[in-house]
Amino acid sequence: MNVAAQRAIGPAVRLLCQVRLVVLAFALVLATLDGTGWLGVFLVVLAAPFSFVPALNWESRGRVYARNGILLASDIVVAVVALIPLAGSPLQAVYAAATAALWGLFAGLRLGLVMAVPLCLFQITAYEPSWRGFVTGVSGAALTAAMAWTGTMLGRRLRNQAVTTAELSTAREHEAVLAERLRLARDLHDTVAGDLAGLSLTTRGLADRLEREGAAPGTVDVARRLSDAVQTAHRHTRSALGELRDDSRGVTGPVNEIARRWSERTGIPANVTVRAGADEIIGPGRARHIRAVITELLENIRKHADASRVDVLVTTTGLAAELLVTDDGRGLPDDVPATSGYGLRGIRERAALCGGDVIWAPAPGGGTAVRVLLPAEPDHPAGDPTDDAPGVVPRQPPRTPHVHGGRTAEVF
């Protein structure tokens, strides 16, 4: 059972535990009124914590209760014991039904029915030896089994509802991000891009006019360099506009396109390798982060690395994504931490947002290697087949190494 499934069934678990507590309260009253019922009082007090504690802290400890075989076995024994003060009372069937539904809720149908067998047998033998007692006991046992099935179906529906809610939240987040990117693209196009286009024509015309009018060579050279700088800024702005409007999904196509555009602008070859099937494994949220991180890393290489070659590798481990970008440039200076600057800080923030990490290290043969680890997206909170199997630890995303001081000596 993962955290999402634990939270999804939490309200139902608390409700069933509260039902059991109410029944135990009535059992305590009956045992107190019975002059020889001190044993019943003891049994009720013994059973109460097994309902009170899960109802109190299921949100924080639910997975421990659902996976701990000793606790589950103890709950079976205590549930049977709690029926003793209720023997012959209609409350017996209510307590057994609520208990079976609770077990089916987090243990699944098969295990829930197995756990409910002692409750069913006790009810069949608890009534007076007559046809009426036999029918009443069998009816109570049937109700217990039916409630185990009901609890299982309720648990599945609650977990499926949690999955649907998470998917809708992810879709809305994607739509909001896409809308913001399009707004920024429109604003850039209407302001900065247009101004740079006009400034580019003006500076080019100024350089040509100065040259025609016989201005000093130094002045013409400055005008030419100013015109080239404005044109470069305009190209970069247009490239940024294209990336902002790029709402494509997946990894392979967009990453290759980003590397191609970057190579065309810089003249530096960028070799991209994406593991086969990565588009099916990496979710849309992680894919967007990967595209943004690659764009930022390539820009940092262009500005600071003085590299002649870049390699981009995107792989997957289970459902987690791993990005490795290496260059053969000058490497990171020893006195500059890997988290300095807004760009590198943004990469660390993106990784942390996904529960991952970033490692900067010297690349073999010189240059820098940056590894970005992004655990799997939480888009299948109830899809693991082990969710209904207590005692089985669900699959966890790979642990990411910690970087002390923003740098590491590890070599990739």
Confidence of residue 270 (pLDDT cuts 50, 70, 90): very high
Residue 335, pLDDT score: 52
Q: Is the pLDDT of residue 396 over 70?
A: no
Mean pLDDT, range 214-218, rounded to an integer: 89
- Residues 337, 382: Cα–Cα separation, whole Å: 40
- Residues 6, 54: Cα–Cα separation, whole Å: 12
Residue 308, pLDDT score: 92
First to last CA, the chain: 35
Residue 401, pLDDT score: 35
- Residues 274, 159: Cα–Cα separation, whole Å: 33
Of the candidates 85, 104, 126, 140, which has an alpha carbon nearest to the alpha carbon of residue 16? 104
Residue type, 390: P
For 20-35, the pLDDT digits (tens) are 999 989 888 877 777 5
Q: Is the pLDDT of residue 42 over 80?
A: yes
CATH code 3.30.565.10 for 249-412: yes
Residue 169, pLDDT score: 81
How far does Cα 280 stand from its chain's mean position? 16
Domain range summary for the chain, segments of one domain joined by +? 3-165, 249-412
For 49-100, the pLDDT digits (tens) are 988 998 888 888 888 888 888 888 888 898 888 888 888 788 888 999 999 9
Residue 405, pLDDT score: 34
Q: Determine which of 19-33, 228-242, 350-364 has the lowest per-residue pLDDT on average.
A: 228-242
Residue 31, pLDDT score: 78
How far does Cα 220 stand from its chain's mean position? 57
Of the candidates 327, 274, 339, 323, which has an alpha carbon nearest to the alpha carbon of residue 299? 327
